[in-house]
A and B are shown apart, each in its own frame.
Chain A
Amino acid sequence: MNRFLGFVKKEFLHIFRDYRTLFILFGIPAAQILIFGYAVSTDIKNAGVAFLDLSKDEVTRMLTNKITSSGFFRNNGNLLNYNEIDEVFKKGKTKAVIVFEENFGKNLGSEGKASLSIIADGSEPNTATLVVNYTMAIINDFNREYSGTPARGSIIIQPEVKMYFNPEMKSHFMFVPGVITLILILICALMTSVTITREKEFGTMEVLLVSPLRPIQIILGKVMPYFILSFINVLLILALSWFVFGLPVKGSMVLLLAECMLYILMSLTLGILISTVSKSMQQAIFISLIGLMLPTILLSGFIFPIENMPKIYDYVSMIMPPRYFILIIKNIMIKGTGLAYIWKETLILIVMTIVFVALSVRKFKIRLE
């Protein structure tokens, strides 16, 4: 045990003595959180919309058809009462719920106006804004057509817009989970792969392998400091987003931290895997940056909603761990959901971790031979 602790201490010395490593570890996350203020706007197509039709008349049917046949939306089912709205949002497939008031068609006929609510999923502010705008446009169009028919005069449907989960449409509600996802995988995978290939390059790995330290102790010893520092990083980012943006964690803090630990572990094992396949530090850095950073930003749903991507990118993103973690963390932080809604994603991350460990162990053994 003493052997191991001495080794871990040495790893900390490496980190603290190199101000560049420290900067990457703590400077970049802080900067990212503060910089990623505004995300890129995107187009929507086939966004899931559910309907809560309290009126069920001809007009609401026409409007429903018009919305679902527009090509922008897909009908995700009809709800029976208000209680189901929460449920349907937590499942995550539905981006908006449209609620027709009781006697919608009758009011429209008799009083010339009727109201409906558009409730959008505010945990994805960009998508939500777009969904609302598109729906409004369709309703306006409908208004024009409907009132255009003679003998009805001018009729107005008044939509009322409400954001679920994120009433004020704060976009940092979206990018904080994204930044945590990006930062953790980058730092963990990059740092571990670099620190292990560095030992290989400098020849110290040979000396360690010849020493009584077991290979598993070497790997654990190298990974442990980054596990601890990354965890501190998570706390730092959460604290920063709380104090600067007032972003609360709606769900269970314990669950959130546990999921973060799982994700850190997954990223570290990914880093070990990268180090076993790369021959030099440059190669490790290259694989980590190009192979992880861009796909994480572009394909994980961090900035661009996966639903709007061509199918092929959707499939590619399925092998990207960040995709699942971003869902998990958004669910816990913004929607406040429990493990019941995210167990599938959690399971996928666990399986990925195991696969990475198995692959690295195999690669490591081959190298020893």
Chain B
Amino acid sequence: MNDQAIIVKDLVKKFGSFVANDHLNFEVSPGEIFGFLGANGAGKTTAIRILSGLSKPTSGTVIVAGFDVYRHTEQIKKNIGYMCQKFSLYEDLTVKENIVLYGGIYGMSRNLIRERLGNLLEKLRFREYENRIIGDLPLGLRQKLAFSVAVLHEPKIVFLDEPTGGVDPITRRQFWEMIYETAERGITVFVTTHYMDEAEYCDRISIMNDGKIVALDTPGNLKRQYDAESVEDVFIKIARPG
């Protein structure tokens, strides 16, 4: 059980009298792609902020990458990657400068950064863009690059907060290929999304509503359980009952 990437038990987060997270319970295994779904305001962002060490829970147990969020946020931060819905690279820096910057922030050695930079540019066929300013690149490329930067330091877990917002279907597909590849390397992927077709790609999904997790299983089991054609139907049945 201690090998789990994320362990959450009875997590409660209150803001005054408002309960944003109401007794959440779930575990995520290493290398799993875990979809974290829910309508806007359901409490997803609050939960992600707690898991990534940005905010402390009101009560409950939260272990991320083997570390307690109450006491070892610094350790957690070293072992996770993060990519948020807003674009997370610096638009006025070049591809190379961004990578060197984030590599440095995560304490990677100069040689390691150079090596990973080379691999990355090769893999993404990005060679020609190495010294281009990010702001000049198309959105799809930037998102792929942002993801690559988020896993540059080979974290145990990567949090993706609506990573594919505003991206065309082909790039989204390529993006998910990258996610699969990452999970195969043993990195746990914790992803939130609004695209229900993407939820189908996840190993397991949880659906939040009003601060509670109301469903948690593989996409297939959930569809069977709710007698639905797709995850989207499941979601609608749960989020808007009746």
Taking Cβ atoms with an 8 Å cutoff, the residues of A that contact B are 2-3, 5-7, 9-10, 13-14, 17-18, 202-204, 206-213, 368-369
Expressed in whole angstroms, the Cα–Cα distance for A2 and B55 within the complex equals 26
Expressed in whole angstroms, the Cα–Cα distance for A17 and B101 within the complex equals 16
Q: Give chain B nearest CB distance to A17 CB in angstroms.
A: 5
A207 & B91 in contact (Cβ 8 Å cutoff): no
Q: Mark B92-124, 1 if CB is under 8 A from A, else 0.
A: 110001001110111100000000000000000
In terms of DSSP, what is the predominant structure of the interface of chain B?
A: loop
Residues of B within 8 A of A2 (CB): 104, 107
Q: Contacts A7-B101, A14-B92, A368-B55 known; A211 to B85 CB distance under 8 Å?
A: no
Expressed in whole angstroms, the Cα–Cα distance for A224 and B54 within the complex equals 24
Q: Contacts A6-B105, A10-B101, A13-B97 known; A209 to B87 CB distance under 8 Å?
A: no
Interface residue ranges of B45-102 to A (CB < 8 Å)? 52-56, 74, 77-78, 80, 82-93, 97, 100-102
A212 & B90 in contact (Cβ 8 Å cutoff): no
Residues of B within 8 A of A202 (CB): 86-87, 90-91
Expressed in whole angstroms, the Cα–Cα distance for A213 and B142 within the complex equals 23
Residues of B within 8 A of A207 (CB): 82-84, 88
A10 & B74 in contact (Cβ 8 Å cutoff): no
Residues of A within 8 A of B86 (CB): 202-203, 206
Expressed in whole angstroms, the Cα–Cα distance for A204 and B22 within the complex equals 29
Closest residue of chain A to B78 (Cβ to Cβ) is A212
Point out the residue from A10, A206, A368 that lies within 8 Å of B90, measured CB to CB.
A10
Residues of B within 8 A of A206 (CB): 54, 82, 84, 86, 88
Point out the residue from B54, B74, B91 that lies within 8 Å of A212, measured CB to CB.
B74
Closest residue of chain A to B52 (Cβ to Cβ) is A210
A212 & B105 in contact (Cβ 8 Å cutoff): yes
Expressed in whole angstroms, the Cα–Cα distance for A87 and B80 within the complex equals 65
Point out the residue from B56, B85, B93 that lies within 8 Å of A369, measured CB to CB.
B56
Closest residue of chain B to A9 (Cβ to Cβ) is B101
Closest residue of chain B to A213 (Cβ to Cβ) is B105
Residues of B within 8 A of A208 (CB): 105
Residues of B within 8 A of A14 (CB): 90, 92-93
A211 & B105 in contact (Cβ 8 Å cutoff): yes
Closest residue of chain B to A199 (Cβ to Cβ) is B90
Expressed in whole angstroms, the Cα–Cα distance for A207 and B56 within the complex equals 17
A203 & B88 in contact (Cβ 8 Å cutoff): yes
A to B contact number (C-beta, < 8 Å): 74
Residues of A within 8 A of B85 (CB): 203
Given contacts A10-B90, A13-B93, A212-B74, 11 further A-B contacts (CB under 8 A): A14-B90, A204-B88, A204-B90, A206-B54, A206-B84, A206-B86, A207-B82, A211-B102, A212-B77, A212-B78, A212-B107
Expressed in whole angstroms, the Cα–Cα distance for A202 and B134 within the complex equals 13
Residues of A within 8 A of B52 (CB): 210
Closest residue of chain B to A18 (Cβ to Cβ) is B92
Top-7 shortest CB links A-B: A203-B86, A6-B104, A210-B82, A207-B88, A212-B77, A10-B101, A210-B52
Closest residue of chain B to A17 (Cβ to Cβ) is B92
A369 & B77 in contact (Cβ 8 Å cutoff): no
Q: Give chain B nearest CB distance to A304 CB in angstroms.
A: 41
A6 & B54 in contact (Cβ 8 Å cutoff): no
Closest residue of chain B to A2 (Cβ to Cβ) is B104
Q: Give chain B nearest CB distance to A7 CB in angstroms.
A: 6
Expressed in whole angstroms, the Cα–Cα distance for A6 and B98 within the complex equals 10
Expressed in whole angstroms, the Cα–Cα distance for A179 and B106 within the complex equals 42
B77 & A211 in contact (Cβ 8 Å cutoff): yes
Residues of B within 8 A of A10 (CB): 90, 93, 97, 101
Expressed in whole angstroms, the Cα–Cα distance for A6 and B85 within the complex equals 25
Expressed in whole angstroms, the Cα–Cα distance for A10 and B54 within the complex equals 23
Q: Contacts A202-B87, A204-B90, A210-B54 known; A3 to B82 CB distance under 8 Å?
A: no
Interface residue ranges of B4-39 to A (CB < 8 Å)? none
Expressed in whole angstroms, the Cα–Cα distance for A52 and B162 within the complex equals 79
Residues of A within 8 A of B107 (CB): 2-3, 212
Expressed in whole angstroms, the Cα–Cα distance for A26 and B54 within the complex equals 37
Point out the residue from A6, A18, A203, A369 that lies within 8 Å of B101, measured CB to CB.
A6
A-B contact pairs, 29 of them (CB 8 A): A3-B104, A5-B104, A9-B101, A10-B101, A13-B92, A13-B93, A14-B90, A14-B93, A17-B92, A202-B86, A202-B87, A202-B90, A203-B88, A206-B82, A206-B84, A207-B84, A207-B88, A210-B52, A210-B53, A210-B54, A210-B80, A211-B77, A211-B105, A211-B106, A212-B78, A212-B105, A212-B106, A213-B105, A369-B56
B54 & A7 in contact (Cβ 8 Å cutoff): no
B100 & A6 in contact (Cβ 8 Å cutoff): yes
Expressed in whole angstroms, the Cα–Cα distance for A17 and B90 within the complex equals 12
B54 & A368 in contact (Cβ 8 Å cutoff): yes
Q: Give chain A nearest CB distance to B204 CB in angstroms.
A: 23
Closest residue of chain B to A217 (Cβ to Cβ) is B105
Residues of A within 8 A of B88 (CB): 203-204, 206-207
B54 & A209 in contact (Cβ 8 Å cutoff): yes
Expressed in whole angstroms, the Cα–Cα distance for A232 and B91 within the complex equals 27
Q: Give chain A nearest CB distance to B12 CB in angstroms.
A: 15
Q: Give chain A nearest CB distance to B83 CB in angstroms.
A: 8
Closest residue of chain A to B100 (Cβ to Cβ) is A6
Residues of B within 8 A of A203 (CB): 84-88
Expressed in whole angstroms, the Cα–Cα distance for A214 and B87 within the complex equals 21
Residues of A within 8 A of B56 (CB): 369
Expressed in whole angstroms, the Cα–Cα distance for A29 and B101 within the complex equals 31
Q: Give chain B nearest CB distance to A72 CB in angstroms.
A: 57
Expressed in whole angstroms, the Cα–Cα distance for A131 and B181 within the complex equals 81
Closest residue of chain B to A204 (Cβ to Cβ) is B88
Expressed in whole angstroms, the Cα–Cα distance for A208 and B90 within the complex equals 11
